[in-house]
Amino acid sequence: MPPFQLTDKTAVITGAGSGIGAAIARLFADQGAAVAVLDIDETKAAEVASEITEGGGRARAIVCDVTDSTTVTRAIDTVVGEWGRLDILVNNAGIAHIGTVESTTDEDMDRIFDVNVKGVHICTRAAIPKMVEQGGGVVLNLASIASLLGLKDRFAYSMSKGAVLTMTKSVAIDYIDKGIRCNCVCPARIHTPFVDGYLAANYPGAEDEMFAKLSAYQPIGRMGKPEEVAALCLYLCSDEAAFVTGQAYPIDGGVLLV
């Protein structure tokens, strides 16, 4: 069998209605996995799932708010009920925030914590028992280079991604004897619809100038592509990475070199 195949595996990907999550869903389906496209946006989830099925893959769209344990549990149960198992969980859903400790309000902190930290906890807690029961599985978390170094004006966001990194290591050590691997990916700036929306909202008329500035932050001279992050995720969720657990993988265009 060619490397990096996910044939007969079932994957749940949160925040898969756009950006990095959608790229992961498409690639995993191309490699043979049955993919549950979880997103809080029903329309976007359905679009990605339809694209996959129309291309001959297996996918199902499931509306899910990762901050709500009831809906998460229901989503995981739906996946296992339909496909019989849960091999891969990719905790991709997340939100951003710009601000220092002084400008970050209580409401800002609660919102970031609920989605980026509590969401990972809730989804992983729902998935782990299924994996233990079947004898193994893979959890992959989307962290950030913000969990590995200081980023200006990213106080709450960095807090949340630092938590994702340490949750990754905790799950890896707690379940290593259950056949469950857990790693995280730490991207730098990735060109997603979020970036375009952010520039349009905050720099009207100067989008191109700011895009070039944000791109230049990466020494390689550009932002990453969602498909490039998805390729790294595929490796870490495949059997070829069976000896890898508890690790954080930067995909940063050379940021950590500086």
Known catalytic residue at 203: no
Cβ 63 vs Cβ 45: under 8 Å: yes
Positive or negative: CA dihedral 128, 26, 141, 117: negative
Considering the candidates 157, 175, 217, 235, report the single residue annotated as catalytic.
157
Q: Is the dihedral of CA 46, 4, 166, 192 positive or negative?
A: negative
What sign results for the dihedral spanned by CA atoms 226, 227, 231, 233?
positive
For residue 232, give every residue at least 6 positions away whose Cβ sits within 8 Å of its Cβ, in sequence order, or none.
185, 249, 251
Contact assessment for residue 167 and residue 140, using Cβ atoms and an 8 Å cutoff: no
**Cβ-contact 229, 190 below 8 angstroms:** yes
- Is the dihedral angle over the CA atoms 22, 28, 31, 35 positive or is it negative? negative
Distance (Å, rounded) from C-alpha 61 to C-alpha 117?
Answer: 23
How far is 124 from 184, CA to CA, in rounded Å? 13
What is each CA distance from 97 to 41, 225, 226, in whole angstroms?
A: 20, 21, 20
Q: Which residues are catalytic?
A: 157
